Amino acid sequence: PAQSTAQQAVQEETIQALFAKAKQMSGVTYDSEILMKEMTIKSKVWTDKGKVKIENTTQNKKFIIIFDGEDMFQYDPSTNTAMKFPIKAMEGKGQQKPNHADYSDYIAPDSLKTLEKVTYEGVKCRVISYNMKNGEGAVKMWVSEEYGFPMRMEMTTKDGEKITTTNKNIKVGSLPPDTFKLPDGAKIQDMSEMMKRMQQKP
């Protein structure tokens, strides 16, 4: 059995090395589509050096999430207003900063497996599976061999619900800094005080 454990360690190391590639990408833009029960969420995502911008379209309404490295903003283009959430104050409060690269944070150790290598949408991928921490569900993921980037994810939650994410039109390269700025004149509502009050409630 010792040998199989060693083999597994080697295999996990290579999956981690694959994920590490995603963290080293300078900047990336891609289109994402999430399919849930009765809902499809289409997004365009920009990310560079820990900053993230996600433009979501749900039921023909657009809204934008920006994480600029310090704070997270939820921006509504139709009213030019944004809500500002201080990420530092919210760590561990269920509010996750969006990150395409840090899947390892959600993976239950010892559950990672490589299933096969395939070409998916013209991209050489490794298909891996893992269980999420806290028993939240199981995930099957098609990861690009070149960039360590997930092209497709199929998640089955502990309640048996299936959520499928597909990423395409991936472009790699640094992004201009103003990608992660709110438009001029946007009205910003700072939610810090409200968050503090909510946290103080017994």
Assess contact for 153 and 141: CB atoms under 8 A: yes
User: Residue 146: what are its φ and ψ, rounded to 5°?
Assistant: -75, -45
- What does pTM read for this prediction? 0.78
pLDDT in tens, 52-95: 999 998 777 899 999 988 889 999 999 999 999 887 655 544 44
Question: CA 109 to CA 111: how far, in whole Å?
Answer: 5
Q: Give per-residue burial for 62-99: e unless 16+ CB within 10 Å, then b.
A: eebbbbbeebbbbbeeeeeebebbbbeebeeeeeebee
Reported as a single tens digit per residue, the pLDDT across 154-189 is 999 999 999 999 999 989 888 998 999 999 999 999
Q: H or E element: which one contains 64?
A: strand 61-67
Compute the distance between CA of residue 71 and CA of residue 190 in angstroms, rounded to an integer.
10
pLDDT tens profile 20-51: 888 777 889 999 999 998 888 899 999 988 88
- Outline where the chain has alpha helix (H): 2-24, 87-90, 192-200
What are the percentages of helix, strand and coil residues in the chain, rounded to 5? 25, 50, 30
Contact between residue 17 and residue 145 where contact means Cβ atoms under 8 Å apart: no
Highest-scoring range by mean pLDDT, 9-13, 100-104, 169-173: 169-173
Phi and psi torsions of 79, nearest 5°: -115, -5
Q: Quick one: pLDDT at residue 21?
A: 83
